[in-house]
Structure 1
Amino acid sequence: MKTLTTHKQVIWFDDSLISESLVEQAFDPDFWHKQNKVLGSAQGRGTTWFVQTEQLPAALRHYRRGGLFGKLIKDHYWFSQWHNTRSCEEFQLLQHLVKAGVNVPRPIAARSVKRTFCYQADILTQKIEGAQDLVGILQQRSLDLDTYQLIGEQVRKLHQANVNHTDLNIHNILLDKDNNVWIIDFDKCHIEPYLRETNFSVWQKSNLDRLLRSFKKELVKRQIDWEEKDWKALLSGYQQIT
């Protein structure tokens, strides 16, 4: 990870994926539009832009608040230290997971900009080509039990890397065209301290409980093609990894 510091701004980047000459402009959607490098976009709390960088397709996301508070203060966060900003933390967490062999987007660059007592932030990560989230897939078809086992295996790898995904749901799990499982959206997630086994398993169970609630919620809300036996297969894959 390289760092580029300018007036009230810090950029962290992987120089094997993006050049220093490009990275300062990489967080401006207008720059990509002018270069005719915009591949598409997706709507969430804000717009995620898909762009073609020097090395690979990427997703550009501006950090925005959710919930009621987010309606009042949309994209400003209290500043304490640069390494505690959301963009820096997510960038480093993704690097940790890539090194651990977990299927997550490679972090390309992240930026934090100080605004008096607050900051704004952006992140540029690998776009997983040909991938769709589980919600979209299960609205169209069912998945076989082997695929659910693969999902369970990837969640276990995440936990073996000691990462607590505090928003693990089926919108944040993707399948690509080769049936590889990917986990995304690590904003506000963190590496757990190494505690005794009883405490370590509490957050693991919390992640799995949240994932199960997500399946059940979308079964009612979007009529996804999912059954309890699918969850058992996922747990089987989760428990088989050593």
Structure 2
Amino acid sequence: MITIYQNDNSVIWFDDEWISDPTPAIFDANYWQSQNRVVGSAKGRGTTWFVQLEGMQVEGIQIDGMQAALRHYRRGGLFGKLVNDHYWFAGWEQTRSAQEFRLLQRLIDAGVNVPRPIAARAVKSGLTYQADLLSERIPNARDLVSILQEKPLPSAMYQKIGQEIAKMHKANVNHTDLNIHNILIDDQDKVWIIDFDKCRQEASGDWKQSNLNRLKRSFQKELLNKKIHWKDTDFLQIERQG
């Protein structure tokens, strides 16, 4: 169940099955480092910190054996160099952290394999806000780039990728940055879709084909840049599932 905690200048959305007493500390990488719970990181627009929740007795964390990904929202592009991590405030539910948190939960309810949202935060300062998201880290999973650099995928796996995208589209979710970095396969051959920042629910339209076109371009780009084991005909297995 999604619960909301609010004070004067911030709001925290959290799943009360995972967190019973939210605190700003769980959105601070320094806090996790002080607890010796940081187990890795990944670079993108900023740093995503991977933290270990196992055995946590602090701040109400109740899930054992799980890792989470902590991400601070940052802008990209030229404008991002000027305004790194501040966004125009138009209401708490319009913040990027709240929207991604709720969208992930809707996708889970629709049976789509996406990370579980644990907690999201927005902090308002004047006319702008900053935001953070704590979500499940998919265990023992790798993105398609790293897998395809080593070996080709069988047709059956491309069919499973297409089926997962079709489930997302059936839920009317437009993944505006669908690429092969955002599709994972775990050690049980389960397909996951990640990174739903700026994504949204939409009525049926040509955006579904646009998602697929963007995904195909990302395969083609990585084929040139990193010599992945992939060919255009592989993509037919994905398209046929839609």
**TM range, smaller chain:** over 0.9
Pairing partner for 2:98 from 88, 107, 113:
88
Residue 11 of structure 2 is aligned to residue 7 of structure 1: no
- For normalisation by structure 1, the TM-score amounts to 0.93
CA distance in 1, matches of 2:38, 2:16: 21
Residue 223 of structure 1 is matched in structure 2 by 227
Residues 35-83 of structure 1 show CA distances to partners (whole Å, capped at 9, x for unaligned) of 1111111111111000122312100000000011111111000001000
* In 1, Cα distance between equivalents of 2:153 and 2:16: 38
CA–CA distance in 2 between the matches of 1:136 and 1:158? 23
How do residues 22-101 of structure 1 correspond to structure 2 at under 5 angstroms? 22-53=22-53, 54=61, 55=63, 56-101=66-111
The one-character-per-residue Cα deviations of 1:99-158 (angstroms, maximum 9, x if unpaired) are 000000000000000011100000000000011110111111111110000000000000
The offset of 1:18, in angstroms, is 1.9
Q: Secondary structure of the equivalent of 1:65?
A: coil
Deviations 1:181-238 (A, max 9, x none): 000000000001x3xxxxx2401111011111111111111111101221111223x2
Higher relative helix content: 1
Alignment of 1:42-191 (within 5 A): 42-53=42-53, 54=61, 55=63, 56-191=66-201
Please state whether the residue corresponding to 1:91 is helix, strand or coil: helix
SS of corresponding position for 2:6: strand
Structure 1: give runs of 5+ residues left out of the alignment.
195-199
* Separation in structure 2 between the aligned mates of residue 90 and residue 28 of structure 1, nearest angstrom: 19
Letter in 1 for 2:220: K
Q: Secondary structure at the match of 1:64?
A: coil
Q: Structure 1 stretches (4+) deviating beyond 3 angstroms?
A: none
Three-state SS of the structure 2 residue aligned to 1:108 is strand
Give distance in 2, aligned partners of 1:17 and 1:143. 35
Question: Which residue identity is paired with 2:97?
Answer: S
Aligned residue pairs: how many?
A: 231
Query: RMSD of the alignment, in Å?
Result: 1.0
1:23, 1:109 within 8 Å by CA — same for their partners in 2?
Answer: no
1:206 aligns with 2:195: no
* Structure 1: distance between partners of 2:86 and 2:80: 9
Distance in 1 of aligned mates of 2:118 and 2:29: 16
- 1:7 shift after superposition: 2.2
Separation in 2, partners of 1:201, 1:225:
32
Q: 1:102–1:154: 8 Å Cα contact kept in structure 2?
A: yes
1:40 is aligned with what amino acid?
G
Q: Following the alignment from structure 1 to structure 2, what is the Cα–Cα distance between the partners of residues 186 and 149?
A: 22
